Amino acid sequence: MKARFKPKFNIRKGDRVVVIAGDDKDLTKWRTVKKVLVDEARVIVEGVNIVTKHSKPSAQNTKGGILKIEAPIHISNVMLYDAKEKGGTKVSRERENGKTVRISKKSGERI
C-alpha cells in the first residue's frame, strides 16, 4: 500500500474481532488478532483463512511436510467485537488525558 502518510487502523494486535466477509464469516463468534500488517492493510486472525504450506526439512523443522498456517486477510473484512452488544461494532476515537481511546459506537463503552 503506497501512501503518502501511514494509515491509521482501529484494529490492533490482541483485539477481539468478528469476521464479516469471506469463507470464515461468523458475526457472532469473536477471534483474536495475531498480527497487523499495516503496509499491506491486512491482519492475521487466529483460526481464519487456514492454508496448507509445503515445507522442506530444515534445522527448525527436521521432518518437513505439510503445515497448516493462517494467511492474512484484508482489514476491511474484520470488525471489532463489542462484548456488551455481542457482535461487531464501528469505532470512534476520543482524547482522554492526552491519549486517544477507542469507543464503541453501539454501546458507548471503551474498548
63's grid cell: 521432518
Q: Where are the alpha helices (DSSP H) in 71-111?
A: none
For the beta carbon of residue 70, count every other beta carbon within 10 angstroms: 16
Per-residue pLDDT in tens (0 to 9) along the chain, 111 residues? 666 888 889 999 999 999 999 999 999 999 999 999 998 999 999 999 999 999 999 998 899 999 999 999 999 999 999 999 899 999 999 999 999 999 999 999 998
Note the pTM of the prediction, 2 decimals: 0.85
Provide the residue ranges of all domains of the chain, joining segments of one domain with +: 16-80
- The pLDDT tens digits of the residues spanning 15-31 come to 999 999 999 999 999 99
Sign of the dihedral defined by the CA atoms of residues 62, 67, 73, 77, in that order: negative
Contact 70, 47 (CB under 8 A): yes
